[in-house]
Chain A
Amino acid sequence: MTSTTTLGPIELEVITGTIRSAELEIEAAVERTARSPMIRDQHDYRVALFDARGRKLTGRSYSALVEPVFEYFDDGDIHPGDVFFWNDPYNSCGGIGHVPDLCTTVPIFKDDRLIGFSQVFGHHDDVGGMVPGSLPVQAHDMWAEGLVIPPIKLYEKGMVNEAAFSIIERNSRLSEHLRGDLDSEIGAAVLGSRRIIAMADRYGVDALEAAYDAIIENCARTIREELLPKIEDGVYTFEDYIESDGFNIGPYAMRLTMTKTPEKLILDFAGTDPETEGPINWAIDYTEGRFVRKWMGPVLRSLAATPERAAEIDMNEGCLDVIEARFPDKGTLITPTFGRPTGQRFYLLLRSLGIFAGALSKATKGKMPADHETIRIWGVHGDDRAGEFYLFREVLGGGGPGRPWSDGSDVVHIVPNSRNLPAEFSETRYPVLVEKLGLATDSGGAGYRRGGMGYDKQIRVLSDCSLISNADRSVLQPYGVNGGMAGVHYSVSTHSDDGESKSLPGMLDQYTVEKDLVINIRTTGGGGWGDPLDREPESVRYDVLCDNVSSEAAREVYGVVLTGRAHTLAVDETATEKLRETMRSEREPLPMFDRGPSFAVLKDEGRINWPDGWADPDEGFMATGELPA
């Protein structure tokens, strides 16, 4: 095949399409060959392709970084057949957040010329540390969480580093899984690199590298020309909280000051609370925050004209052109000093998206989606019917956010294609009976577009067992936007057949549940969007018909008067209009953000305090009262 040396629109389109389909191919290869259920079934892994400078080319998902290769290895020390490897949260330039995420990076060469990198990282079942699963709630430092590996070469010019491999394997309780996972990740990364080499063969390295520039520039242009103009210039603050660090009760605040200019967004995290004893820290203050800028950038997609358009927008290295990050000095939740534990940093990951969306809501007259909390782990373990140990563990989603274009979707998970466990599977495998797999009435935050519903899952345990719950948002609630109300918080409780019930804390380990008790898990509803009194009465009637909303809430929150029941349920238009008029005249003006009653209690108790130079970010921002066009 001839190799052209200039990049035209044809080469660019084929290379862009090939990189996009290579990303899917690498993902398929990981899913096909990995061993850990966390990777194969919960889809907790990310893949990416980068150029020779470590700039991210793929755009469907966030990824780790390539910078540790440059930082730890000299220019001349990157060779065909090398496989770079690390999981060190403090020596991965901010790209890896906790030790179960093992990151594999393969350089791509066309002949002798480095033309890019292919990378896969996945959440492994076990990398040692104080508890099985390597996510201890009560870890005092990073070393309690598992084996820590700074950037090394797992292969050098195609030769395996057996010493490293055997140390890594020996440090896992599930060494077979681990070895299988690593082989899978290396194989998948190599597969991805072949697609890039094929493009270099077909069009030449110069055209390929020119295409890299264009792919990154197109992302930056999309953000700059399509999304930024929807954000008003100015300075905006927002904050949100984590309830507990496993040892102490917070709340612990992550704070953001967002400055918007015509060309840029500057994200300054000054004011974030100090680092904690327990594992909720997140070390991201490296390499100008490149990781967190690319992690947060995709939130901007919600400003696209339609959800279909939002799904099309690739977010690659081009984000960095438009988003800057600034960090406080060492010693905060997001700038922890070396060695602080980070295992449960996923609360902060979600909080960072929420505070960015909140600041954007202020800057767009409330046009952003409300808040949603979609990751928590619950489970039981004990002896099964045959007397053998079992662990039944599930990542459960929560209600999606209300947004101008739609109610929140019910029980969704932020990780794409992650699935819950069917009742028929659970009952066949574990000594449980699923009494209810439902949605929790009134869990979605009320609004013109209400939040999605959380789970109401009831599981009867058929033998004595231990309960695990790793959940934040068990007191505080996902916030509502622009007059919408907060979604209901997470809860876990046990119930006996004679009516006795016990409410339990969200972060819990080793709690014994007796045979025949029913465990009730209710996950968070999404925050609502817009004034509930503006919701179409017919939508409220339908929600009541389906038990998504109680008839009490229909009247008291939505101001809708209903008559009849079941399929004779009808809206009393006149009474509704009158009730809504009264409610409007009697209430205070609606705020831009509603964090729910439990937050108000914390505030009254004086437990929400701001550092110098900070004020309550919610203060003074009111709902616009405007409905979407």
Chain B
Amino acid sequence: MSELRVSVDTGGTFTDVVAVYDDGRVHAIKTPSTPGDPSAALLSGIRQVVEESGSVMPDVDIVVHGTTTATNAVLEHKFSGLGLLVTEGFRHLLEIARQSVPDGYGNSFFWVKPPRLVPLHLVREVGGRMDQTGTVLRELDEKALVESVQELVDQGVDRLGVCLIHSYVNDQHERRIAEIIGEHFPDLFLSLSAEVLPEYREYERAMTTLVDVMVKPYVRTYLGRAHEELNKEAGDTPLLLMQSNGGVVSAKAAGERPVTMLLSGPAGGVLGAVHVAEQVGLTDILTLDAGGTSTDICLVENMSPNITTQSLIEHYPVKTPMLDIATVAAGGGSIAWIGQFGSLKVGPQSVGADPGPICYGRGGTDPSVTDAAVSLGWLPAEFIGGDLVLDVESSRAAFEELGQTLELSAEEAASGVLEIAAANQVHGIRQVTTTKGRDPADYTLLAFGGSGALLAAVSADFLNIRSILVPPFPGNLSAYGLQVSDVRRDYVRTLVRLESKSDPAEIDRHWSSLEEQGRQELRDQGIAEEDWELLRVADMRYYGEAHEVRVSLPSGLSGLDAVEAMWRLFHPEHDSVYGFSYPGEQEVELVQLRVQAVGQMSRPASLRLSGSGSPEPIGSRQIYWRDLGWTETPLYDRYELPDGARAPGPAVIQEYGSTIVVPPGWDASIDEFGNVRLEATR
């Protein structure tokens, strides 16, 4: 019997479920999400995909789950029931935040501070104080504590965050609070800042802790239920959760620290893209994952997706390590509309799944990017393998109308919409490249998702990117990517030390203790010891700077060698991030020690698509190109194209669920894995 892995990617609207067999067979379905109880869609999706691909539930070997459930809870402001305990003198921590006003100069006149996670009356101070070395200056006031928490519970608090000053150095008071609360208020959900994020900067630590406890009850309940049901039907089957750092973890561990699942939605696609790139020997890529409403972009260097600890969810900082993904509101469903003074705008509103674009004929009336592509012939009037015949005429009529307002022909208006949609993607690509000191032209664009290959070449033209790769089954890459992940857990500890005054043994001791936590967790996750990898990372800066640089040490480095390497490798890393360094001239300061514990998992067979048919076009149709006007353009069927086949632009390559557009100035070819590679020819 072949191995069967199932991926479940739960979005706000749809849940994508993919069955991957170890012979490379892939079966995908899409089912509506069930936000009330996400476990319902998760299980019904698994049942459906298993059945449709000709297996039975007990055949399922592993389920990997990515979800936006936790993120959506924050976006929907489900803050009620949250309370916060802070150190005496710091009651206004959330009110003050960092005093910062976003965006333009002078916005302080009209800007309104967004709602706080915990309103001020549900924040309580606790007597007791540590200094920056962890020395207790004042003892914890245990008696007042019980009274304060009782008051909060009386006012409906059922989830409590605790964030005491300098608890990242000494967690004694926070742990004691947990004991007392466990005794007096056993039903209260609790997160301690020293456990969630033992890093200095009290506001960011408090916010991360609050987001953790906020989603805890919900995530624990639904994951617990899902795993129970799954085991009932499929036998003892691991349920793994994708995290925002691009690694997976057991459902149980995810429930312990659910903040690590925030913004994990797009991670699967990035991992899938890295896997595809690895096969063909590409180490530096830009991933472009375009769907119906948005496009996610991530920079991958030396096979590693960039990681950030500076993420915001809406206005709220969440400081756990995350893949550094830029999201722009540009997708197939983005709506074209007339703005102020007759300007032409695309997005950020989207037609959504219901009613969808005009051409779907389900009552949609707003012209979208998809309608523009259909009316110009970029998309076929009938999707391959689908029974949906598109209403091209209605789409065209909509652009006729839009064009009249703009004094343009329907074709000019529609192709303009595609140009603007591509420019919107371009702004997102710049966010992860030029703003980080990288030139996008140095990377291959890996385009996937339902609409990734539609505009990739147009976007690439803006950026002088000359090479694009479209993997097989681009619509399923995100779900597949969930299966090519490793177990990854991050550990952090703040330790502020100047190089000249530091004790290497002390630094090593703290790193080792983080590693020990990592080993324990990998052991708990049932990963065999030979598959463990413990990576040491340090956040460092020149003394006087307020931002740190992440210095990742080579795998396998430990002990005092690691400490020595850390001080040495900081300078070139600083140079690569900021463009300058001062080795031997300026004092270096360590701020945080990190360890990433990696447990390597087995991989399914690679995605492969080998067309055995003819390399010739299957036909042609009239397609409108901005440079050429209406042109009879050859069409190809991706499933027919064999290794080495070529499709010089202009051309369109069609497949189920996606269309690859090869504009004039680009050539497409098929490689041995069935990837379509687009190369600029001018």
Chain A residues within CB distance 8 Å of chain B: 1-2, 8-10, 12-14, 16-18, 21, 24-25, 28-29, 32-33, 35, 37, 40-41, 46, 60-62, 176, 180, 183-184, 187, 191, 198, 202, 218, 221-222, 298-299, 301-302, 304, 307, 310-311, 353, 357, 369, 372, 374, 386, 396-397, 400-401, 403, 405-406, 409-420, 422-425, 427-429, 433-439, 453, 455, 458, 542, 545-546, 548, 566-567
Given contacts A419-B100, A420-B98, A567-B155, contact A545 B121 (CB under 8 A): yes
Given contacts A311-B107, A437-B93, contact A41 B100 (CB under 8 A): no
Tell me whether A29 and B106 are in contact (CB under 8 A).
Answer: no
Tell me whether B546 and A8 are in contact (CB under 8 A).
Answer: no
* A-contact bits for B458-484, CB 8 A (1 contact / 0 none): 000110000000000000000000000
With both beta carbons as reference points, the residue of chain B lying nearest to A20 in the complex is identified as: B427
Is B225 an interface residue, CB under 8 A from the partner? no
Chain B residues within CB distance 8 Å of chain A: 89-93, 95-96, 98-113, 120-121, 131-132, 137, 151, 154-155, 165-166, 168, 200-204, 340-346, 406, 408, 412, 415-416, 419-420, 423-424, 427, 430, 434-437, 461-462, 496, 501, 544-547, 577-580, 582, 585-586, 627
Complex Cα distance, B342 from A218, in Å, reads 10
Tell me whether B99 and A396 are in contact (CB under 8 A).
Answer: yes
Tell me whether B344 and A218 are in contact (CB under 8 A).
Answer: no
CB contacts (< 8 Å) of A374 on chain B: these are: 108
Given contacts A13-B343, A406-B112, A542-B121, contact A413 B99 (CB under 8 A): yes
Tell me whether B545 and A17 are in contact (CB under 8 A).
Answer: no
* A310 nearest CB across to chain B (Å): 5
User: Can you list 8 A-B pairs, Cβ within 8 angstroms, ordered by A?
Assistant: A8-B416, A17-B423, A311-B107, A416-B102, A416-B103, A416-B105, A546-B121, A566-B151
CB contacts (< 8 Å) of B108 on chain A: these are: 372, 374, 397, 400-401, 409, 412-414
Given contacts A9-B342, A424-B132, contact A187 B106 (CB under 8 A): no
Top-9 shortest CB links A-B? A10-B416, A28-B435, A436-B89, A546-B120, A409-B113, A424-B200, A419-B98, A9-B344, A61-B105
Tell me whether A413 and B100 are in contact (CB under 8 A).
Answer: yes
CB contacts (< 8 Å) of B345 on chain A: these are: 13
Specify which of A12, A221, A372, A397 is in contact with B99 (CB 8 Å cutoff): A397
Specify which of A18, A29, A311, A372 is in contact with B104 (CB 8 Å cutoff): A311
With both beta carbons as reference points, the residue of chain A lying nearest to B402 in the complex is identified as: A9
CB contacts (< 8 Å) of B101 on chain A: these are: 409, 412-414, 416-417
Complex Cα distance, B101 from A21, in Å, reads 19
With both beta carbons as reference points, the residue of chain A lying nearest to B544 in the complex is identified as: A37
Specify which of A14, A21, A414 is in contact with B430 (CB 8 Å cutoff): A21
Specify which of A14, A310, A413 is in contact with B110 (CB 8 Å cutoff): A310
Tell me whether A61 and B104 are in contact (CB under 8 A).
Answer: yes
With both beta carbons as reference points, the residue of chain A lying nearest to B585 in the complex is identified as: A176
Tell me whether B105 and A13 are in contact (CB under 8 A).
Answer: no
User: Besides the contacts A311-B107, A311-B111, A548-B120, what 19 more A-B pairs have beta carbons closer than 8 Å?
Assistant: A9-B343, A9-B406, A13-B416, A29-B434, A32-B436, A35-B580, A198-B462, A301-B109, A301-B110, A372-B108, A403-B110, A409-B112, A410-B96, A414-B108, A417-B101, A420-B99, A424-B132, A429-B496, A433-B137
CB contacts (< 8 Å) of A420 on chain B: these are: 96, 98-99
Tell me whether A40 and B545 are in contact (CB under 8 A).
Answer: yes
CB contacts (< 8 Å) of B104 on chain A: these are: 60-61, 298, 311, 416
Tell me whether B105 and A46 are in contact (CB under 8 A).
Answer: yes
* A315 nearest CB across to chain B (Å): 8
With both beta carbons as reference points, the residue of chain B lying nearest to A418 in the complex is identified as: B100
Tell me whether B132 and A427 are in contact (CB under 8 A).
Answer: yes
Complex Cα distance, B89 from A16, in Å, reads 47
* A260 nearest CB across to chain B (Å): 19
Complex Cα distance, B678 from A356, in Å, reads 57
Tell me whether B103 and A40 are in contact (CB under 8 A).
Answer: no
With both beta carbons as reference points, the residue of chain A lying nearest to B137 in the complex is identified as: A433
Tell me whether B546 and A401 are in contact (CB under 8 A).
Answer: no
Tell me whether B109 and A424 are in contact (CB under 8 A).
Answer: no
Specify which of A2, A176, A187, A307 is in contact with B579 (CB 8 Å cutoff): A187
* A203 nearest CB across to chain B (Å): 10
CB contacts (< 8 Å) of B165 on chain A: these are: 423-424, 434
Specify which of A10, A202, A419, A428 is in contact with B132 (CB 8 Å cutoff): A428
With both beta carbons as reference points, the residue of chain B lying nearest to A369 in the complex is identified as: B109
Tell me whether B113 and A424 are in contact (CB under 8 A).
Answer: no
With both beta carbons as reference points, the residue of chain B lying nearest to A222 in the complex is identified as: B340
Tell me whether B105 and A410 are in contact (CB under 8 A).
Answer: no
Tell me whether B99 and A33 are in contact (CB under 8 A).
Answer: no
Tell me whether B434 and A438 are in contact (CB under 8 A).
Answer: no
Complex Cα distance, B89 from A437, in Å, reads 6
Q: Which of B104, B111, B137, B627 has the most CB of A within 10 A?
A: B104
CB contacts (< 8 Å) of A184 on chain B: these are: 579
Specify which of A10, A410, A418, A433 is in contact with B95 (CB 8 Å cutoff): A410
Tell me whether B92 and A439 are in contact (CB under 8 A).
Answer: yes
* B112 nearest CB across to chain A (Å): 5
Tell me whether B419 and A10 are in contact (CB under 8 A).
Answer: yes
Complex Cα distance, B113 from A301, in Å, reads 17
Tell me whether B99 and A411 are in contact (CB under 8 A).
Answer: yes
Given contacts A8-B412, A60-B103, A416-B104, contact A422 B420 (CB under 8 A): no
CB contacts (< 8 Å) of A410 on chain B: these are: 92, 95-96, 113
Tell me whether B107 and A416 are in contact (CB under 8 A).
Answer: yes
* A167 nearest CB across to chain B (Å): 22
Given contacts A8-B412, A9-B406, A10-B344, contact A311 B546 (CB under 8 A): no
Complex Cα distance, B168 from A422, in Å, reads 14
* A436 nearest CB across to chain B (Å): 4
* B147 nearest CB across to chain A (Å): 11
Tell me whether A218 and B341 are in contact (CB under 8 A).
Answer: yes
Tell me whether A32 and B201 are in contact (CB under 8 A).
Answer: no
CB contacts (< 8 Å) of B423 on chain A: these are: 13-14, 17-18
Tell me whether A32 and B579 are in contact (CB under 8 A).
Answer: yes
CB contacts (< 8 Å) of B110 on chain A: these are: 301-302, 304, 307, 310-311, 369, 403, 405
CB contacts (< 8 Å) of B344 on chain A: these are: 9-10, 12-13
CB contacts (< 8 Å) of B412 on chain A: these are: 8, 10
CB contacts (< 8 Å) of A183 on chain B: these are: 580
* A604 nearest CB across to chain B (Å): 31
With both beta carbons as reference points, the residue of chain A lying nearest to B152 in the complex is identified as: A567
Given contacts A8-B412, A37-B544, A416-B104, contact A32 B99 (CB under 8 A): no
